[in-house]
Structure 1
Amino acid sequence: MEKLRKSLRFLKNNGLKVKLGKNIRNTYGYLAGTDIERLEDFHCMIADPTIKAIFFAKGGYGTGRLASCIDYELISKNPKIIWGYSDITYLHTAIRQSTNLVTFHGPMLESDVARDDFDHLSKDMFNQLFKRTTLRYSEKIAALNVLVEGKASGKLVGGNLSLLTSTLGTPYEIDVKGNILLIEDVNEEPYRVDSMLNQLKYANKLTKANGIIVGDFANTEPKRSPSLQMEEVFQHYFSSLTCPVMTGFKIGHCLPHFAVPLGAQTTMNTENKLVTIEPGVI
Structure 2
Amino acid sequence: MPLLHLIAPSGDPQDQDAVARAVDYFQEKGWQVKGQSSALRHFQRFAGTDDERAAELNALTKYAQPEFKDSKPDLVMALRGGYGLSRILDRIDFDGLAAADLVFIGHSDFTAFTLAYYALTGKASYSGPMTCFDFGADSPSSFTQHHFWELLGAGIDAIKVRVAQPYQFKTEGMLWGGNLTMVSQLVGSRYLPEVKDGILFLEDINEHPYRIERAIYQLREAGILTQQRAMILGQFNGYKLYENDAGYDFDEMVKHLRSRIDIPLLTDLPFGHVRDKLTLPVGRVAQLDVRQDDGYVLSYGRI
SS in 1 for 2:274: coil
1:205 maps to which residue?
Answer: 224
Shift in alpha-carbon separation, 1:216–1:114, aligned structure 2, 3 A: same
Shift of 1:236: 1.6
CA distance in 2, matches of 1:45, 1:13: 25
CA distance in 1, matches of 2:172, 2:196: 12
CA distance in 1, matches of 2:259, 2:231: 11
2:10 maps to which residue?
Answer: none
The reply to whether residue 257 of structure 1 matches residue 277 of structure 2 is yes
Shift in alpha-carbon separation, 1:278–1:250, aligned structure 2, 3 A: closer
**Offset from partner CA, 1:103-153 (integer Å, 9 cap, x none):** 0111111122222342212112221464342211113xxx32414443221
Alignment partner for residue 59 of structure 2, among 35, 39, 44?
44
Shift in alpha-carbon separation, 1:129–1:151, aligned structure 2, 3 A: closer
CA distance in 2, matches of 1:129, 1:45: 24
Give TM-score scaled by structure 1 length.
0.91
Shift of 1:87: 0.4
The reply to whether residue 248 of structure 1 matches residue 263 of structure 2 is no
Shift in alpha-carbon separation, 1:147–1:118, aligned structure 2, 3 A: farther
Instruction: Identify, as 1 or 2, the structure richer in helix.
Output: 2
Maintained 8 Å contact 1:145/1:246: no
The reply to whether residue 16 of structure 1 matches residue 36 of structure 2 is no
Shift of 1:67: 1.5
Shift in alpha-carbon separation, 1:239–1:46, aligned structure 2, 3 A: farther
SS in 1 for 2:288: strand
Equivalent residue letter for 2:225: L
Maintained 8 Å contact 1:134/1:278: yes
CA distance in 2, matches of 1:26, 1:170: 30
Alignment partner for residue 268 of structure 1, among 284, 288, 294?
288
Shift of 1:178: 1.4
Unaligned runs of 5+ in 1: none
Shift in alpha-carbon separation, 1:189–1:174, aligned structure 2, 3 A: farther
SS in 2 for 1:225: helix
Give TM-score scaled by structure 2 length.
0.85
CA distance in 1, matches of 2:259, 2:60: 44
CA distance in 2, matches of 1:262, 1:175: 13
The reply to whether residue 99 of structure 1 matches residue 118 of structure 2 is no
1:231 maps to which residue?
Answer: 251
Equivalent residues, number: 278
Shift in alpha-carbon separation, 1:65–1:128, aligned structure 2, 3 A: farther
Shift of 1:257: 0.9
Maintained 8 Å contact 1:6/1:114: yes
Equivalent residue letter for 1:204: G
SS in 1 for 2:235: strand
**Which runs of 4 or more aligned residues in structure 1 lie more than 4 Å from their structure 2 counterparts after TM superposition?**
none
1:5 maps to which residue?
Answer: 20
